[in-house]
Amino acid sequence: MSRLLAESELPVELSTFAAVDAAYPVEIAKCYEALKRRLPVLIECEKELSPYVYKSLRDRLKADGTRCLYLDGRAAADLPPPPQGAGLVATMIHQIREIVRGAVGERIVVLPHLDILGTSMGGGGLGSEARELIPLLYENPEVLWLGFKDPAFPLPPPIENLFPAREQIFGVPRDRLRYLVTQREARKLGRGGFDPYALYKHVSGVNAIRLRRLLGSLTGEDYPADAAPAIAQLRTATLTTDVELPQVDIDKDIGGYGPVKDRLKAEILQILAAKDQLSDPAAITRIESLIPRGMIFWGPPGTGKTLFAKAMATSLGAAVTIVSGPELKSKWVGESEENLRAVFMKARKSAPAVIVFDELDSFAGARTNQSSSSGVEHSMVNQLLTEMDGFRKEELVFVVGTTNFAESLDPALLRPGRFEFALHIPYPNGEDRRAILAVHDKRLGLKMTDEAMDAAVKRTEELVPGPSGGTHYSGDHLQALCRQLARMRMRENTNEAPTVATDVDRAIEQYLEMPKLTKHEELVVATHEAGHAVSALSCKHLSPIDRISIRGDIGGALGYVKYSDPAHRYVVTYSQLRDTICTLYGGREAEALVFNEISTGSASDVEHATRIARSLVENYGDGGTELGVAMWEHDRNTPISEAARAKIDTQIVKILETERTRCREILETQRPLLIAMRDLLIEKKVLDRKAFSHLTETTHG
Ligand code: ATP
């Protein structure tokens, strides 16, 4: 079955009334049937639509003799006049009172502005109008009500409950679109026939009246070869405030993260693209039911979660709304569900749309115990799920929630049909960092040489320096580094020259507040780090050393030894852990050996070593003959006896002492290397593997 329609199949002319009739025949018929059965009806539609929907209904009712009384706040001929000076709302309430206390007969009483009358007040309370109105609405069960409300305004439940029949009219159903485009307008949208499905994607959230207005204002030639400019005209007009049409190319603007991109493409983008090629409505509906509507992008701050959401939107031609979870929550406390409803309404009107809830866990956190989740959070989650359930399958509205930890989310959110798709965006690895740096290098015209790029990739493997540092480099940090380089180049007037490796180091270190050590302090720190390094060189199960520094550029640490990424990340062996303990003592033992005195600088090393030794005994079966191979980890349900605890502690100390002694022996034998390494460190402050290789060849080996 083809989706393409010949021009002659489309209407020549179309009045606004006829368009509303043509767009919503099913909805209007349902309302009509309910009213015929004398059920009060509530129609939820945008304000501009309600007079037209009402007229369509009234015409049908009139045809079989039913009359309506329309209460829009103006004086009505057959009702007593309102008190002098009464405003719109007071007049409506006055008229409603007259009606429920008088005789209306078979007439249907129409309340076109029920939302204005009954808007609930913040904090879940009722406005004074609602309080006056509710008893009136229930006073006379003979009255048959037809109410209209705008979807942006919630109604207090007592008012909503008055209406057993409710109908929501939103956007335009896809299969009705063909009746809403005239021949003249279709000519502006391309040649070779009109494809309502292709148009639908761009205007699904626009109601029939706005759609007619937008189509009527289309300019441009007839039968253009390329429909894109005409579609773009329509698309821009559908955007409401606070939404943007992003321009982020998933391949060009996002560096690295190949597997993340592949998954996003495979699970969403390619499926939607395939759908666009289909012509069988049944097959299209089948695909639509399979596409995840909610997605979680999780990972540390600044790794590009929002950027990915924007790239996804760009590929879909979708608008993006970014909502901050904490901000929404603080508003929520005073203003009930309205905020969230408004967010969804706006997005749906601008569909295709992606709504990004940043820090979703701020209100949708896992409820670990009763006290940790407030009523506010609970109702926000419920409202979020209600809104997500409210989309039609064919509406292209996606919800992306970002969070640092997927497991921190309320599991109710993660069920199929909700946020069923979780995409992990971790800190970038070396390859990713190279690609991200390349994106910003190009954007900022840094002209990085290959060596500069290698240096930047290598240096950003370390933790972010500075007092606020201590985390790994994220995409955000890498962008900041490139911007720093760009500013430096501008200041130094070197925009035309390539960026070299030393520039990268300077950019990283330029404004770091490094501790100023005295000569003796520097000697101690250098001895300490050289001790770690030399002991590590004798431990065969450890990864090679990448870098040794005594520059004090990582938050809090005066010096460090950095090892390269282990070849096996997931399998950690017993020997590796023993070697790690041994090298952790390297700093302390070197100080003891050289100065016959130790500083407090090894406290965290000792702590770390003790933690590993404890794990070895308690978790990994290094219990010796007394404790055997058992899991001794402290567990509240199986208390450990005092005697066993004492044995555990003895075994831990035994392991630690064995490794400390081994370390001491290594350093004693390697003393010349220790001293040479220390002196080189004092001279250079930072050594990479190449810089000390001559020492290990000559002195060591
Ligand atoms: P947060 O969790 O703090 O909200 P986020 O994960 O949403 O952060 P973004 O705001 O998307 O991170 O990223 C911040 C900026 O970092 C982006 O605007 C972009 O310039 C840069 N960036 C992050 N990742 C990448 C990447 N992979 N490629 C290019 N630039 C990136």
**Which one of 327, 478, 479 would you pick to mutate in the ligand 1 pocket, going by the greatest count of ligand atoms within 8 A of its CB?**
479
Distance CA 50, CA 56 (A): 10
pLDDT at 465: 78
pLDDT at 241: 62
Ligand 1 and 402: CB distance under 6 A: yes
Over range 661-684, report the average pLDDT.
Answer: 96
**Which one of 306, 358, 437, 484 would you pick to mutate in the ligand 1 pocket, going by the greatest count of ligand atoms within 8 A of its CB?**
306
Nearest-CA neighbor of 236 among 394, 102, 350, 151? Answer: 350
The rounded Å distance from CA 463 to ligand 1 centre is 18
The rounded Å distance from CA 529 to ligand 1 centre is 35
Atom of ligand 1 nearest to the CA of 304: 11
Per cent of the chain over pLDDT 70 is 91
Distance CA 415, CA 421 (A): 9
Residue 122 pLDDT greater than 50, yes or no: no
Ligand 1 and 339: CB distance under 6 A: no
Ligand 1 and 587: CB distance under 6 A: no
The rounded Å distance from CA 306 to ligand 1 centre is 6
Position 30 confidence tier, pLDDT thresholds 50, 70, 90: very high
pLDDT at 523: 94
Distance CA 135, CA 100 (A): 10
Strands 545-549 and 686-688: antiparallel
Distance CA 21, CA 56 (A): 6
Residue 573 pLDDT greater than 80, yes or no: yes
The domains found in the chain, sorted by start residue, are: 7-12+173-238 (no CATH), 25-168 (3.40.50), 258-424 (3.40.50.300), 430-509 (1.10.8), 519-696 (1.20.58.760)
pLDDT at 2: 55
Position 546 confidence tier, pLDDT thresholds 50, 70, 90: confident
Ligand 1 and 207: CB distance under 6 A: no
Ligand 1 and 301: CB distance under 6 A: yes
pLDDT at 289: 81
What is the SS3 assignment for 404-421?
A: CCHHHECHHHHCCCCEEE
pLDDT at 378: 78
The rounded Å distance from CA 298 to ligand 1 centre is 12
- Most confident listed range (225-229, 276-280, 421-425): 421-425
Atom of ligand 1 nearest to the CA of 308: 11
Greatest alpha-carbon pair distance for the chain in Å reads 111
What is the SS3 assignment for 206-221?
A: CCHHHHHHHHHCCCCC
Over range 339-362, report the average pLDDT.
Answer: 86
Ligand 1 and 302: CB distance under 6 A: yes
Q: From the CB of residue 132, how many other CB atoms can be counted at a distance below 10 Å?
A: 17
The rounded Å distance from CA 311 to ligand 1 centre is 11
pLDDT at 305: 94
Atom of ligand 1 nearest to the CA of 297: 6
Q: Please name the residue whose Cα sits nearest to atom 13 of ligand 1.
A: 304
- Taking only the tens place, the pLDDT of each residue in 83-97 is 777 778 888 888 888
Atom of ligand 1 nearest to the CA of 307: 11
pLDDT at 28: 95
Residue 369 pLDDT greater than 60, yes or no: no
Alpha-carbon Rg for the chain in angstroms: 35
Atom of ligand 1 nearest to the CA of 310: 11
Residue 370 pLDDT greater than 80, yes or no: no
- Taking only the tens place, the pLDDT of each residue in 166-212 is 998 988 888 888 999 999 999 988 888 888 888 888 888 889 999 99
Residue 700 pLDDT greater than 70, yes or no: no
pLDDT at 643: 84
Q: Please name the residue whose Cα sits nearest to atom 19 of ligand 1.
A: 476
pLDDT at 67: 87
pLDDT at 633: 67
- Most confident listed range (277-286, 377-386, 630-639, 681-690): 681-690
Q: Residue 467 gets which letter from DSSP?
A: T
Residue 123 pLDDT greater than 60, yes or no: no
pLDDT at 104: 64
Distance CA 188, CA 601 (A): 76
Over range 58-76, report the average pLDDT.
Answer: 87
Q: Please name the residue whose Cα sits nearest to atom 9 of ligand 1.
A: 304
The rounded Å distance from CA 301 to ligand 1 centre is 8
Q: Note whether 554 and 463 are within 8 A (CB).
A: yes
Residue 592 pLDDT greater than 70, yes or no: yes
Distance CA 644, CA 630 (A): 11
CA separation, residue 155 to residues 124, 146, 328, 337, 618 (Å) = 11, 15, 20, 11, 60
Any idea which residues carry the catalytic annotation? Answer: 529
Q: How many helices (H) and strands (E) does the chain have?
A: 31, 13
Ligand 1 and 470: CB distance under 6 A: no
pLDDT at 165: 93
- The count of C-alpha atoms lying within 13 angstroms of the C-alpha of 190, restricted to the half-sphere facing its C-beta, is 15
Ligand 1 and 434: CB distance under 6 A: no
- Most confident listed range (292-296, 386-390, 659-663, 687-691): 659-663
Ligand 1 and 254: CB distance under 6 A: yes
Q: Note whether 525 and 517 are within 8 A (CB).
A: yes
Lowest mean pLDDT among 26-30, 289-293, 294-298: 289-293
More confident site: 389 or 434: 434
Ligand 1 and 256: CB distance under 6 A: yes
Ligand 1 and 403: CB distance under 6 A: no
- What value, to the nearest 5°, has the Cα angle with vertex 354 and ends 279 and 286? 30
Position 371 confidence tier, pLDDT thresholds 50, 70, 90: very low
Position 1 confidence tier, pLDDT thresholds 50, 70, 90: very low
Position 434 confidence tier, pLDDT thresholds 50, 70, 90: very high
What is the SS3 assignment for 614-676?
A: HHHHHCCCCCHHHHCCCCCCCCCCCCCCHHHHHHHHHHHHHHHHHHHHHHHHHHHHCHHHHHH
Q: Please name the residue whose Cα sits nearest to atom 31 of ligand 1.
A: 475
Provide the CA 592 distance to its chain's centre, in angstroms: 52
With b for 16 or more beta-carbon neighbours within 10 A and e for fewer, the 575-591 pattern comes to: ebbbbbbbbbbbbbbbb
**Which one of 296, 474, 476 would you pick to mutate in the ligand 1 pocket, going by the greatest count of ligand atoms within 8 A of its CB?**
476
Tell me the DSSP string of 577-595.
HHHHHHHHTHHHHHHHHHH
pLDDT at 699: 47
**Which one of 247, 303, 423 would you pick to mutate in the ligand 1 pocket, going by the greatest count of ligand atoms within 8 A of its CB?**
303
Ligand 1 and 401: CB distance under 6 A: no
Ligand 1 and 326: CB distance under 6 A: no
Q: Which residues pair with 41 in a beta bridge?
A: 146, 165
Q: Note whether 410 and 305 are within 8 A (CB).
A: no
Over range 521-549, report the average pLDDT.
Answer: 93
Nearest-CA neighbor of 170 among 128, 215, 205, 197? Answer: 205
pLDDT at 677: 95
Atom of ligand 1 nearest to the CA of 404: 2
Position 119 confidence tier, pLDDT thresholds 50, 70, 90: low
Ligand 1 and 250: CB distance under 6 A: no
- Taking only the tens place, the pLDDT of each residue in 463-512 is 787 666 668 899 999 999 999 999 999 999 888 899 999 999 888 887 77
Per cent of the chain over pLDDT 90 is 41
Ligand 1 and 304: CB distance under 6 A: yes
- Identify the H or E element spanning 237: helix 228-238
Position 698 confidence tier, pLDDT thresholds 50, 70, 90: low
pLDDT at 500: 93
Residue 513 pLDDT greater than 50, yes or no: yes
Please, which residues have CB within 8 angstroms of residue 255's CB and are 6 or more apart in sequence?
Answer: 428, 432, 433, 434, 435, 436, 437, 438, 439, 440, 475
The runs of H, that is alpha helices, within 359-516 are: 361-364, 375-389, 430-444, 450-459, 475-491, 501-509
The rounded Å distance from CA 305 to ligand 1 centre is 6
The rounded Å distance from CA 304 to ligand 1 centre is 3
Lowest mean pLDDT among 430-434, 453-457, 464-468: 464-468
pLDDT at 45: 93
